[in-house]
Amino acid sequence: MKNLMLPNEFAKSIFEITPEKLHNEGIRGIITDLDNTLVPWDMKEATPEVQDWFQKMKENNIKVTILSNNNRERVTFFAEPLKAKYVYSAKKPLRKAFLKAAKEMELKKEEIVVIGDQLLTDVLGGNMAGLKTILVVPIVETDGKITKINRKIERFIFRQLRKKGKISWEE
């Protein structure tokens, strides 16, 4: 059985995840976290680089949905200028929001990847929903209060996975 905390892949940032790479893997849809995955958690709008990334995905017929535990105002303000679909107050890692986003994409589970910076929300939730997962390095090292707690737990999980030889990348 697969460890639910273990991502399928690791990337330093979303910018390593290209349409070509996704097409080669049969991926046609992305469910992505927002805070510390696309932009720092305290940044309101997409950077020009993130805008370009979304545009490249769109040009290559890759659907992108933002899935965030953040509130409606935060997620809507970020997503609407990108013309991106989104789910706010997702209650990750619960499967429900992941499955809702996948259903709205009208794609098979094996055609969708979840991208995020947290094991306890993005990777765990994506894996429980039966989706492929990619863990990215958090953009900034600062976090909100709950995420700080999650990061301590994640460091422990990383150490355990590394001891068992399950991961080879650096923290």
3-12 per-position pLDDT tens digit: 898 999 999 9
pLDDT in tens, 51-107: 999 999 999 999 999 999 999 999 999 999 999 999 999 999 999 999 999 999 999
79 occurs within a structural domain: yes
Q: Which residues lie below 8 Å from residue 148, measured CB to CB, with a gap of 6+?
A: none
Our count of domains for the chain comes to 1
pLDDT of residue 2: 60
106 occurs within a structural domain: yes
| Omega of the bond leading into 93 within 30 degrees of 0 (cis) | yes
Please tell me the distance from the alpha carbon of residue 67 to that of residue 70, in angstroms, as a whole number.
Answer: 9
CATH for 28: 3.40.50.1000
* pTM reported for the whole predicted model: 0.88
Structural tokens at position 129 = 């929903």
* Residue 28 pLDDT > 80: yes
Structural domain boundaries enclosing 38: 9-140
21 occurs within a structural domain: yes
Please tell me the distance from the alpha carbon of residue 152 to that of residue 90, in angstroms, as a whole number.
Answer: 22
* Residue 110 pLDDT > 80: yes
